Amino acid sequence: MKRSVWISPLLMALIAIAQFGCQPKVAPPTNESAAPTNRNDIRAEPFDKAVIERELLRIENDWPRVMKEKDVEAVKRVLADDVVMIYPDGTVGGKAQDVADMQSGALTAESIELKDLKVNVLDANAAVVTGGTVVKGGKYRMPDGKSIDISGEYRFADTFARRDGQWKIVAGASVPVRQPAAAASPAAKASPTIAASPAGSPATTRTP
């Protein structure tokens, strides 16, 4: 064997010791870095549930005035631009449809009573309001000029989200009650709007 590649066992041992001593020390993994994040350690944003409930009830209970005065600005203010509405006839609409119906004056009713309101606060920025509406003397004027009776009882659900500090309706749905109560509460307060589907079929009543 050539001397240029021969190394004595003692020299090999010394080289190995030197190399081992120069290796950087790697700290063993700790439980802090290896353990998954504990969801219980994530603190939710504090909020006052009662304050949110009062504000959303105020918004819902303002709709009788909105309808009577045809307050288009209130509709624009409360509905999110990307709101999705499911009307009682199964059609889907949005903010543009509701604003157009309010502006045209196609929606009329002798009274719209709201009952059984319940606010389910999900967190500081989301909540769902459910309830019932009773429409008396309700009419919707179709594009051909004919009026359709939209009187009846409905159940609704409105989903609210707080955006830039303002509560907006981001989704809503309303369905007719097939077997309504014999009499609606006279003390109930009201407020859905009435909308027609873009296709021209009456979407009857829903609550924005």
pLDDT tens for 133-146 read 888 999 888 888 89
**158, containing H or E segment:** strand 152-163
Burial 6-19 (b: 16+ CB within 10 A, else e): eeeeeeeeeeeeee
| List of long-range contacts for 29-37, beta carbons under 8 Å, 24+ apart | none
Listed as ranges, residues in the chain with pLDDT below 50 are 1-18, 20, 22, 32-35, 183-208
**Surface-to-core class of residue 102, CB atoms within 10 Å of its CB (0-12 exposed, 13-18 middle, 19+ buried):** buried
Q: How far apart are CA 198 and CA 208, in angstroms?
A: 17
